[in-house]
């Protein structure tokens, strides 16, 4: 007699046998339930795993912040260097400008006497101070090219007519560089647009004598009532050329080369702007990435919430399988355990009864023996 037979002998017929329990556990419905529960466990683990993903985002955030700090530090450093260079530039410009004023004062104090010639000597000297003044920007040609052939620039046209900012002596050169026939498409003449002839943008400073603009000590004749190159200002030209020679603070070479300082300051400014652009681009990239992540995360969260809702509905449905919503798997296992316990107790009772009967039999037989 097997264990199943003993159970069926002493327990109610509705009790499940071990075979029936195994069969129940192998039913497709039960297998599906297990599968859904397993998926639920995995889904729960995924939710718990968000901590690890958050750590990844935190690490990414720290890395991006470090990149931004490095770019920001580079920008601050570039701005600081630009500010220092610009301050030094302004201080030196102020010093050189004051030296030009000292030169003018020297002309008025050093040249003494009365008469028109003395007055013209002072004017020529003061003009020389201005012509040797501070050159802020390097000269840049504004001549765009010959009106009939734009490929012909200043260097192609003035080589034989201008030298170092002045028009060569003689009417031929003067007429050529001032001719409208040689002008560009904007009517800018060679004299007006070429640095080599004293024109262009920036470059050496100019001076005014008697209302006439003078760009060189070699071009004073017209300012003193004559024509260019006719020698009218021959007696005044030396005063222009020697202006500032006796002034200790005045340095014509530094004034002429000051435009190099501007180039250095501009390069510092360009470096600062480059770092600013890097910072701006990086911030824009991070903003775009952040917005994209927000959209992606929101979509994934919606999808996860939907899946969790479905899981909860399925789980609730699965726990309601069977009559009254009972979980027969757990009930069967519990009843099997209780039946085993009852069977063991029954075995103990039966053996006890058998032992008592045996003892009574022995005692009775013992009393029947003759003395």
- CA dist 136 and 266 (Å) reads 12
pLDDT band with cut points at 50, 70 and 90 for residue 130: very high
**Model confidence at 166: pLDDT above 50:** yes
- CA dist 336 and 339 (Å) reads 5
The residues, ordered by sequence, that sit 6+ positions from 36 with a Cβ below 8 Å of its Cβ are 311, 314, 315, 318
The Cα-based distances of 260 to 10, 254, 255, 313, 338 in angstroms read 114, 10, 10, 79, 103
- CA dist 185 and 320 (Å) reads 94
In a domain, 275, yes or no: no
**Model confidence at 222: pLDDT above 70:** yes
Query: Which residue's entry shows tokens 């001719």?
Result: 179
Question: Which range of residues forms the domain containing residue 106?
Answer: 96-265
Lowest mean pLDDT among 54-68, 148-162, 351-365: 351-365
In a domain, 362, yes or no: no
User: How is 191-222 classified by DSSP, letter by letter?
Assistant: HHH-GGGT-SBSSS--EEETTEEE-STT--TG
- Most confident of the following: 151-165, 215-229, 271-285, 336-350: 151-165
In a domain, 103, yes or no: yes
- CA dist 69 and 51 (Å) reads 27
Question: Is the pTM value of this prediction over 0.75?
Answer: no
Residue 49: predicted pLDDT: 46
Residue 362: predicted pLDDT: 62
Residue 107: predicted pLDDT: 96
In a domain, 115, yes or no: yes
Rounded (5°) CA angle 140-142-146: 130
In a domain, 363, yes or no: no
User: How is 120-172 classified by DSSP, letter by letter?
Assistant: HHHHHHHHHHHHTS---S--B-----BSS-TT--HHHHSTTTEETTEEPSSHH
- CA dist 349 and 368 (Å) reads 29
Residue 236: predicted pLDDT: 94
CB atoms within 10 A of CB 127: 25
The pLDDT of 159-180, averaged and rounded, is 89
Residue 288: predicted pLDDT: 78
In a domain, 77, yes or no: no
Q: What is the mean pLDDT of the chain?
A: 78
In a domain, 293, yes or no: no
Which tokens is 242 given?
A: 């020697």
Query: What are the tens digits of pLDDT across the range 223-269?
Result: 998 887 788 899 999 999 999 998 999 999 999 999 888 888 888 88
Query: What are the tens digits of pLDDT across the range 279-319?
Result: 778 777 777 777 776 777 677 777 777 777 887 777 677 66
**Model confidence at 149: pLDDT above 70:** yes
Residue 296: predicted pLDDT: 73
Count: domains in the chain:
1
- CA dist 66 and 320 (Å) reads 55
In a domain, 201, yes or no: yes
**Model confidence at 110: pLDDT above 90:** yes
């Amino acid at each position: 007699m097997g264990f199943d037979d003993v159970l069926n002998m002493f327990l109610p017929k509705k009790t499940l046998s071990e075979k029936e329990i195994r069969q129940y556990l192998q039913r497709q419905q039960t297998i599906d339930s297990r599968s859904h529960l397993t998926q639920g466990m995995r889904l729960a683990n995924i939710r718990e795993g968000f901590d690890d993903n958050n750590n990844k985002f935190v690490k990414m955030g720290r890395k991006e912040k470090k990149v931004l700090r490095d770019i920001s530090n580079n920008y601050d450093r570039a701005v600081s260097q630009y500010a220092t260079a610009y301050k030094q530039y302004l201080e030196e410009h102020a010093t050189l400008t004051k030296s030009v004023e000292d030169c003018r004062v020297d002309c008025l104090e050093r040249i003494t006497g009365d008469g028109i010639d003395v007055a013209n000597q002072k004017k020529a000297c003061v003009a020389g101070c201005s012509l040797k003044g501070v050159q802020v920007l390097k000269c840049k040609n504004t001549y765009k090219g010959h009106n009939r052939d734009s490929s012909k620039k200043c260097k192609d046209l003035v080589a034989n007519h201008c030298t170092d900012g002045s028009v060569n002596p003689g009417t031929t050169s003067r007429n050529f560089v001032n001719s409208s026939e040689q002008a560009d498409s904007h009517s800018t003449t060679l004299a007006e647009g070429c640095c080599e002839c004293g024109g262009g943008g920036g470059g050496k400073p100019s001076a005014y004598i008697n209302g006439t603009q003078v760009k060189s000590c070699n071009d004073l004749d017209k300012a003193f009532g004559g024509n260019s190159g006719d020698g009218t200002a021959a007696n005044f030209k030396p005063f222009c050329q020697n202006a500032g020679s006796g002034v200790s603070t005045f340095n014509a070479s530094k004034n002429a080369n000051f435009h190099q300082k501007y180039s250095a300051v501009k390069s510092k400014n360009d470096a600062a702007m480059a770092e600013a652009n890097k910072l701006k681009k990086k911030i824009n990239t991070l903003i775009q990435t952040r917005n994209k992540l927000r959209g992606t995360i929101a979509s994934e969260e919606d999808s996860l919430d939907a899946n969790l809702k479905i899981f909860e509905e399925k789980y609730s449905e699965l726990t309601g399988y069977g009559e009254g919503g009972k979980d027969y798997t757990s009930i069967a296992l519990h009843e099997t355990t209780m039946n085993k316990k009852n069977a063991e107790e029954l075995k103990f009772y039966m053996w006890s009864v058998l032992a008592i009967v045996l003892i009574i039999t022995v005692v009775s037989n013992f009393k029947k023996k003759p003395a």
